Amino acid sequence: MSTLSRWVPRLVFGLGVVHVVYAVVESPGIMRDMVTAGVVNASSDIHRDYVTWFFIGGLATLMIAAVARWSVRVTGTLPAVLGWWMVGIGGLDTVLEPVGGGWILLLLGALTVYDARRPPVARAVAGGDGRPLTGERPTDEGPSDERATAY
């Protein structure tokens, strides 16, 4: 497992947390009004739309981080397709709003693609037997014969 494989999921998670926290902290009055008005049709004007989509963007970023972390735990590497999705989303966001933060997701996606395209020897799974990891925490009992199940 490479340094990038360990750090990219953490950094994407941090970006998602910043998104969610910023949406709540930057617009507490709007969030409070949306909650007290009820969730159905709560995003009914441009200010509420901004907060809603910023919050949902944060949740989606947390989901990307969870998938990246799962992949690293199971396979020992980041999936290139996840990196390409982040490059695409971050690139589109950067084009639409050049002074926004889309470039952060673009950079994290590029690092993911770079890490996934390393030679197979550099991406060897921990343990050296080529079998996928189960995602379990290491124990003193030795290696497990259980295989990870992809859903």
The reply to whether 11 falls in a domain is yes
Is the model's pTM score more than 0.85?
no
Predicted confidence at residue 43, as pLDDT, reads 84
**Which residues in the chain land under pLDDT 50?**
121-129, 145, 149-151
Predicted confidence at residue 92, as pLDDT, reads 96
Residue 78 · residue 71 · CB < 8 Å = yes
Range(s) of the domain holding residue 37: 3-123
Helix segments in the chain, DSSP class H: 3-26, 28-37, 46-75, 80-96, 102-116
The reply to whether 54 falls in a domain is yes
The reply to whether 119 falls in a domain is yes
The reply to whether 12 falls in a domain is yes
The reply to whether 112 falls in a domain is yes
The reply to whether 144 falls in a domain is no
How many separate domains does the chain show?
Answer: 1
Predicted confidence at residue 122, as pLDDT, reads 45
- Total length of the chain: 151
Residue 23 · residue 51 · CB < 8 Å = yes
Predicted confidence at residue 132, as pLDDT, reads 52
The reply to whether 146 falls in a domain is no
The reply to whether 72 falls in a domain is yes
